[in-house]
């Protein structure tokens, strides 16, 4: 493999950094869009709260299925993002990926509150957060090794889709029928 000139590497790094920053805009877009959606439909803040409450009520006791569905849709749109040939569709698919990823995050955070005793919930959510933060460190390194080893981003996207598929399988094994795990000792 040939080495890129320093200038090309620096430009690539700056462009990747800008793309990374832009991706955070997607995460805030839904919360910002909620206010505009309310205006478009003449809804007050209380009305929006009722709509969101209805959504959370619908998914109450169904977090596992929300996690499975949102993970599967994240993987599907991630694959679509990889296969697209236009920048408009790339940005559209990326936005949809982040939309469904937010449901995955909400489900993952909600499950410890359903499955653990009250005195274990904080530690459980802390472990979930630790896993997420660790993945935020490990994933770019893993993708870098994959791209370096294969010389292409194709395998990296395949890795992302495969990990998303694995999350669907793992989510399907969660036993929500037995809440309040780890019985309290006397």
Same domain, residue pair 148 and 114: yes
Q: What is the pLDDT of residue 148?
A: 92
In the structure, what pLDDT confidence band is assigned to residue 89 with cuts at 50, 70 and 90?
confident
Token readout for 35 is 């206010």
In the structure, what pLDDT confidence band is assigned to residue 140 with cuts at 50, 70 and 90?
confident
Residue corresponding to tokens 């090309």: 8
pTM: 0.64
Whether the predicted pLDDT of 44 surpasses 80: no
Helix (H, G, I), strand (E, B) or coil at 116: strand
185 or 97: whose pLDDT is higher? 97
Residue 25 maps to a domain? yes
Residue 185 maps to a domain? no
Same domain, residue pair 78 and 145: yes
Q: Rounded to whole angstroms, how far apart are CA atoms 73 and 65?
A: 12
Residue 180: count other Cβ atoms within 10 Å of its Cβ.
Answer: 12
Q: What is the pLDDT of residue 10?
A: 63
Nearest CA among 100, 121, 118, 98 for reference residue 110? 121
Q: What is the pLDDT of residue 75?
A: 92
In the structure, what pLDDT confidence band is assigned to residue 72 with cuts at 50, 70 and 90?
very high
Same domain, residue pair 22 and 72: no
Same domain, residue pair 47 and 69: no
Residue 183 maps to a domain? no
The pLDDT of 143-170, averaged and rounded, is 88
Same domain, residue pair 37 and 73: no
Tell me: the pLDDT tens digits for 90-104? Answer: 888 888 888 888 888
Note down the domain range covering 27: 1-56
How high is the mean pLDDT of the chain?
76
Same domain, residue pair 75 and 165: yes
12 contact partners, CB below 8 Å, separation of at least 6: 4
Same domain, residue pair 106 and 131: yes
């Amino acid at each position: 493999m040939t080495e890129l000139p320093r200038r090309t590497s620096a430009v690539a790094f700056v462009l990747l950094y800008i793309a990374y920053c832009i991706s955070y805009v997607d995460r805030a877009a839904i919360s910002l869009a909620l206010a505009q959606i309310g205006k478009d439909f003449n809804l007050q803040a209380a009305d929006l709260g009722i709509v969101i409450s209805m959504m959370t009520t619908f998914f109450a006791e169904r977090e596992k299925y929300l996690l499975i569905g949102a993970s599967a849709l994240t993987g599907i749109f991630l694959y679509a993002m990889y296969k697209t040939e236009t920048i408009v569709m790339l940005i559209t698919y990326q936005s949809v990926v982040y939309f469904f990823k937010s449901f995955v995050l909400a489900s993952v955070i909600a499950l410890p509150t359903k499955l653990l005793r009250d005195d274990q919930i904080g530690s459980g959510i802390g472990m979930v957060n630790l896993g997420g933060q660790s993945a935020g460190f490990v994933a770019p390194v893993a993708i870098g090794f994959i791209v370096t080893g294969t010389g292409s981003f194709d395998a990296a996207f395949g890795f992302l889709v495969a990990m998303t598929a694995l999350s669907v399988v793992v989510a399907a094994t969660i036993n929500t029928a037995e809440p309040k795990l780890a019985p309290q000792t006397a």
